[in-house]
Amino acid sequence: MTYQGEEAVRYGPAKALRHLISAATRQGSDIGQPILIKSDNWRSYSEGFEGLSVAAKVRTLLEILRKHSEFFGNLVEFTAVTDWPLLVANGPEEGQAILQHARSRNLVAQGDGEKLWTLTWDGWQAVEPLAGGIDGLGFVAMAFRPELEDAFQNGILPALDDCGFRAIRVDKEHFAEKICDRIIVDIRRAQFVIADFTFQRGGVYFEAGYALALGRTVIWTCREDDIGNLHFDTRQYPHIVWHEPADLRSQLRDRLRALLPGARSS
């Protein structure tokens, strides 16, 4: 028997894993990329969230509040009763426990009313320990293959230009030092990183991980025919799934405008 959508969540996965499917579908919806759960794909979505530590769930809460905060002190609506899937919690009870733990650690503060929360200074420091870089500068990590040159020239670069941003890609630069040293320098200079995982290059995984450690925003992309090969460590991140350069440009432009302050809107 084949289940789709809500039926796949209710009847397909084992009961112990259903909260992971709820996490995948809710996070997809939160970034405007709804996920259709089927009896033949629920396992791959759940694997990306299995074994997530409590510390990682707390950090997810902080990242959610940061994403929706327009400024320091901005109050964001969040409630464990309905938003627990965003934290990959087992249910509202764990969601509430995560929220209260973050409050006890002075990472978040409650506003007037139980649905309004804000990141404290400690919370901002925890979620963006070394955030910085040159405003509007993006580092592009991707496989340097002829098949992807069209995606770079007619997808990534125009999307950045649409937003008033500019890009650096290490193979397009002139430098004297070792390439690995240059990559580290460029990522530290950048405000954000666009990481395309098409062809599953190990260097792209490293560069995205290093950027995360620096507190940089990472925008995850992958061509449609290779999305199933993503490593389980990164599969849970919200990838832009594209099939042609024009599609990549449109989706990437929208993601940049949604995540990065200062992006040009027209």
Q: Which CATH number fits domain 54-127: 1.20.210.10, 1.10.10.10, 3.20.20.330, 3.20.20.140?
A: 1.10.10.10
Prediction pTM value: 0.56
Q: What is the pLDDT of residue 201?
A: 94
pLDDT at site 9: 46
Q: Give the pLDDT confidence score for residue 135 in this predicted structure.
A: 82
**Hey, where are the domains in the chain?**
5-47, 54-127, 134-259
User: For strand 240-242 and strand 108-110, is the pairing parallel, antiparallel, or unpaired?
Assistant: unpaired
Q: State how far the alpha carbon of 199 is from the alpha carbons of 159, 227, 230, 240, 260, in Å.
A: 21, 10, 9, 15, 27
Instruction: Specify the pLDDT at position 1.
Output: 32
Q: Give 195's strand partners.
A: 141, 220
pLDDT at 154: 97
Q: What is the pLDDT of residue 161?
A: 95
**Per-residue confidence (pLDDT) for residue 4, from 0 to 100:** 45
Q: How far apart are CA 53 and CA 56, in angstroms?
A: 5
| Residue ranges of the chain with per-residue pLDDT less than 70 | 1-52, 128-132, 174-177
| pLDDT attached to residue 8 | 46
pLDDT at 11: 45
pLDDT for position 165: 95
Domain 134-259, classified CATH 3.40.640.10, yes or no:
no
**Is 163:248 a contact under the CB 8 Å cutoff?**
no
Instruction: Tokens for 176, please give them.
Output: 């004297």
List helix spans (H) across 69-190. Answer: 80-83, 92-104, 121-127, 146-151, 157-162, 179-189
Residue 249 structure tokens: 């440009």
